[in-house]
Amino acid sequence: MNLINKFLRDKKLRSITALEDFVRIARSQEVSLEESEENIHKNLLEFRLNGDHACNGLLITTDGYFLTAGHCAEESENHSYKKYFATLPNNKKSRIKHICAVAKRDDLALGKLSINSKPEAIRYRIEETNDLNHKPIAALSRWDKELVKKYGLVTSSWNLRGVHPGQIYKGEPTNYKNHFLTNLSCIGGDSGGVIVDHERNLMGLVSIVRVICKKDKSEKGDFYTQGAKFGKALELTEFYIKTLKSRLEQI
């Protein structure tokens, strides 16, 4: 193995360790609620495109790995994540280096910013309880560098699949799995922000915002927000860790 390959291998190994630590710590419940909340406020990313707000993400390692909603990481003629800029906790700006893994059915993506820092896990505390109906929650996003909070309740099944029975959606129905429905009044630019419970545990990421119409079409519809389960974001991270390890075996 030449020196360049050894350097690249060692760098990847350090990143893998940081990602593994992130998953382990999040599931361990060893992080205090206060520390987790502080880290969320500090590491909630705002992505901007051509100077305007685009979406959000959550930094999970100090060398630039982050989680966001899958649709925020799509590439098309009218939408390119490669043009996004994120403002980091130290107020420096960074582009997205690449999208590492996407879970389309969960609307989740793992990405990497162009940051050259020592890889360390950022410590969060998560909530994976299944019985969440009517649980008080909050959505956190960042707009123009300011933290924005919206409050509401979980209103439907933790494992919501597609359109909720008996309700009419404006726009196309979603077929995302492992989502929960809330009455949070989020808007499109909140995508990729985080949803926390009343104890400040991470529950999920803001995914799709819908207007649910009343049966009487003359009545004004209500905004509802689907959250992507954070436990699934951990599974996506684990999938990428396995992919990285497999690549290392070939170096």
| pLDDT tens, residue by residue, 3-32 | 556 656 777 889 999 999 999 999 998 999
Q: Domain check: are 84 and 160 in the same one? A: no
101 with 163, same domain? no
Please say whether the beta carbons of 87 and 237 come within 8 A.
no
Residue 87 sits in the same domain as residue 61: yes
* Domains in the chain, number: 2
Would you tell me how many other CB atoms lie within 10 Å of the CB of residue 155? 21
Q: Which residues pair with 196 in a beta bridge?
A: 138, 202
* Contacting residues for 177 by C-beta, under 8 A, at least 6 apart: 105, 106, 159, 161
Whether 68 and 158 map to the same domain: the answer is: no
Cβ neighbours, 10 Å, residue 5: 10
Higher pLDDT, 184 or 161: 184
Assigned domain for 129 exists: no
Portion of the chain with pLDDT greater than 70, in percent: 80
20 is a domain residue: yes
Residue 155 shares a structural domain with residue 225 = yes
Higher pLDDT, 131 or 38: 38
Let me know whether 120 and 33 are in one domain: yes
Same domain, 195 and 76: no
Whichever domain contains 70, its CATH number is: 2.40.10.10
Confidence band for 133, pLDDT divided at 50, 70 and 90: low
Q: Is residue 131 part of a domain?
A: no
Mean pLDDT check: name the lowest of 55-69, 131-145, 186-200. 131-145
Cβ neighbours, 10 Å, residue 250: 5
Is residue 93 in a domain?
yes
The pLDDT value recorded for residue 11 is 77
Residues 78 and 152 in one domain: no
Structure confidence by residue, pLDDT tens digits, 182-228:
889 898 899 999 999 988 899 999 998 776 655 555 556 667 888 99
Give the single-character DSSP code of 117.
Answer: S
Cross-strand partners of 48: 53, 85
Distance separating alpha carbons of residues 184 and 137, to the nearest angstrom: 8
Residues 104 and 180 in one domain: no
Co-location of 11 and 118 in the same domain: yes
Expressed as residue numbers, the domain containing 161 is: 136-229
Q: Is residue 66 part of a domain?
A: yes
Contact 59, 194 (CB under 8 A): no
pLDDT at residue 241 tops 90: yes
Provide CB contacts within 8 A for 199, sequence distance 6+: 33, 127
Tokens for 112, please give them: 């990497």
> Same domain for 67 and 189?
no
238 and 225 belong to one structural domain: no
Contact (CB, 8 A) for 18 and 66: no
In a domain, 130, yes or no: no
